[in-house]
Amino acid sequence: MTNYFYTDASGKKQGPINSRQLRTLAAQGIITPETVIANEQGKSAPARKVKGPEFNTLTDKENQMNYTLIHYKSIFTLAAIAIISIFAFAVPLSGQAQKQYEIANPYANVDWATFGQYKAAFHTHSTNSDGADTRAAMIEDHYTKGYDILNMADHDFVTIAWDEPGYGRGPGQNRPGRGILSSERRAEIEAGVGRNGRGMIGIPFGNEQSSTDHIITMWADFNNSARATLTAEQRMAETLGVVEFAGGISIIAHPGRYTGGQNADLMVGAAASNNPAQIKKYVDLFLAFPNSLVGMEIMNRLDNETRSDRILWDNILMQTMPKGKSVWGFSNDDSHGIDETGFNYNVMLLPELTADATRHALETGAFYAVGRVDRRLGVNTFDRGGNVMPNNGSAATAYLYTEMTAPSISNIVVRDGAITIEGADYDYIGWVADGVEIFRGNTINLNDHSGKVHSYIRAHVVGTGGVAYTQPFGIIVNGASR
């Protein structure tokens, strides 16, 4: 089979791809008639001169809609099979009343009227690993851009506190930190100087453990070591175990990098995220560390490597939620420089801005995640020049947060088997159960969707400026006992 390479919108060479993938990318509009295609011999030509790709004449928006429909259709078929098999056990007796639903609401303890909404970035790099800007510059940049909580997560480097050197892996695990913020400036930032008293705080002991598949860890004075003899999953389990023992908490970073879900071909990415072996790897880890492994990134950069990770998330939830383990979804910039900061965040719902309150919300799910680009839902899949949205945020894509407003959530009410979301700056609220969007509207009454909701439901609040993702609500169906 012939392999091809192509140059993407950002000028990066991509591939190899086979002829089938070439056709798919052309149909998606990712490969345009002018995209330069090269074969394995290095011969190149614009795609319109290459035999194979058929170019879709639909507009970008129509393409995206088609794509979303195809995606949902394929999931629907799978879900239908699952529902039929579950129904065999759940057929109600004749004359039976409606099912009763117990809803485990991660926002149950949030007082929406009095709690603050705090923007948090949990995954930020600096020159203490491979970032372009110093730790102090990254802290100042987040402060300027309105973040309230910042976890520095340099690769294999422990940021004990913004104004302490910390340490990185190296001879004696002793590589000292650079770009340290002064204690005076730390105190000013925490006090909200120059921001009308609205402070920003740091999380202690941030790290992106990178000897394993990347794991963001906090509150654990620990740096993982390279253990080449262990499998990827064993190394993850080892790191997660030590972090738990040290009293920390962990978040899985950009899983699509490891599952293959990052593939630009959304069909290939979906297949990777539906791969039972990949799903099992994460389910096993979440069930092994239910108290300290709190969640996973469902959004990283401009939905680059995470483009199929909401599919993976749903697949994981389908297995962990029946066992009582919620997996919270995170949206992080994974910023490696100030131009990459400002696109994604997590809105922490806290009675007060402290590290302890943040940790409690991380453990209980009292937050929602916000991203500017969702390549699955067709939100900002294309930039305003009509090109496929670049993978990384930059000055050229800053309009996504300087000129557009992302959706927000102002209240969530759970009552009598129904969940209601109030918010702003959105076009619709979609409700997802078992990986399928089953309903759109502000209020979902679970009794109206009998048979489609089994162990969880979550919502995405979708607008032109981005998407706000709720955490999963746990569902227990009490039908058979009535």
Chain contacts with Zn ion (rule: CB under 5 A): 208, 214, 253, 334
| Preceding omega of 16 cis (within 30 degrees of 0) | yes
Residues whose CB is less than 8 angstroms from the CB of residue 311 and which lie 6 or more positions away in sequence, other chains included? 75, 261, 269, 270, 273, 274, 376, 435
Structural element, H or E, at residue 281: helix 276-288
Q: Closest CB to Zn ion among 208 and 309?
A: 208
Return the number of other C-beta atoms located less than 10 Å from residue 117's C-beta: 16
Q: Which of 398, 372, 390, 389 is closest to 469 using CA atoms?
A: 372
Distance CA 89, CA 87 (A): 5
Burial 162-195 (b: 16+ CB within 10 A, else e): bbebbbbbeeeeebebebbbeeebbebbeeeeee
Residues whose CB is less than 8 angstroms from the CB of residue 359 and which lie 6 or more positions away in sequence, other chains included? 218, 219, 249
Distance CA 448, CA 79 (A): 17
User: Quick one: tokens of 115?
Assistant: 């709690």
Q: Closest CB to Zn ion among 125 and 458?
A: 125
Q: Closest CB to Zn ion among 214 and 376?
A: 214
Q: Which of 361, 414, 397, 326 is closest to 119 using CA atoms?
A: 361
Distance CA 39, CA 387 (A): 23
